[in-house]
Amino acid sequence: MSIDKVIGEWDGQLSCSRYDEASGAFFTIALHSLRLGPAAGGTRAMQYVGHDTAVDDATRLAGAMTLKMAIAGLPMGGGKSVIALPAPRHVLTEGQWQRILEIHAENLRALNGSYWTGPDVGTASVDMDVLHAAGGYAFGRSEEAGGPGSSAPETAHGVHVAIHASIREAGFDDLSGRRVLVQGLGAVGYDVAARVAAEGAHVIATDVDPIRCERARTELDAEIVAPRDVLSTPSDVFVPCATGNVVDDAVAGTLPTQVVAGAANNLLARATAADALARRGVVLAPDFVANGGGAIHLVGREVLGWSADQVAAHVEGIEGTLKEVFDLARSERISTEHAARRLASERLRIHV
């Protein structure tokens, strides 16, 4: 897929890219929508197969952020930053990474407040501290730097709320004794695993990092499965908390679970995968609803001036949003993905 083709088929408002020869990094910022306010979305820093793949990821993720902000009732549009690294993050020298952040801050300043970023895969609050200090428009700074700290706990909180709303829709009341499969044991995934383990769930976990897996095994008594086996391992609840494009039409036709609710952005490779899940009676909590806790945390604290308690209360509201989604899907006989997109689109039209 060429960059021309990616941009030509995208329905967003602005995309800009830059290559820095000194660091070997390729930068893309995609602004999908400014209808509700300045665009916002995290900075993802990782290796990509090619620059076209990085641009494709940025544009898809920016579109998901538009839906996430709209359905959460937040006054922001959707955007995303992607930095295609020349080598794995842990291999880069401190000097390389500092230059990459400096270039990214320049890019953010050039957009003059029409786009705000935050932590994502490959970045953290300390990186937002650097971007903010350099005049970049960055959410999610550390508490030591005057920010609200990591959004991971509230993202995990929101996923936990989504799991409970979804299991009720699937017909069971609690997680005691249920098999909950968590894919990805980063800050969000591990937190979700710990929450469900505390409720008596049998946690099944997987991650490409064996150290994370061992921690889950020893601390949560988790059953560990290999990453290659995750989509064929039976569970009651599948919680994808790694990267996206996990469920395509073929996977949706065979995934051995009753509920899918996780933190991964762009979980579905195509929207038709949601139809395949629906035909099998699998309850899907659309990702841009289930993982909205992080956005609620950052925008709530840094734009709307909410307290931590107010943020937590709004994250609990994900349950009500999902009830609307499930009710609409049931009444219209459409997938929950289509129902959630319809609800988000209605808000966007109202605010044009």
Q: Which residues are catalytic?
A: 80
Torsion angles phi and psi, residue 215, rounded to 5: -60, -45
CB 326 within 8 A of CB 319: no
Spatial neighbors of 42 by CB under 8 A, at least 6 apart, are 80, 81, 117, 118, 119, 120, 121, 123, 140
Question: HSE on the CB side for 105, CA within 13 Å?
Answer: 16
Closest listed residue to residue 186, CA positions, set 116, 86, 265, 78: 265
Closest listed residue to residue 14, CA positions, set 133, 111, 112, 83: 111
Separation between Cα atoms, residue 315 and residue 107, nearest integer Å: 31
CB 240 within 8 A of CB 230: no
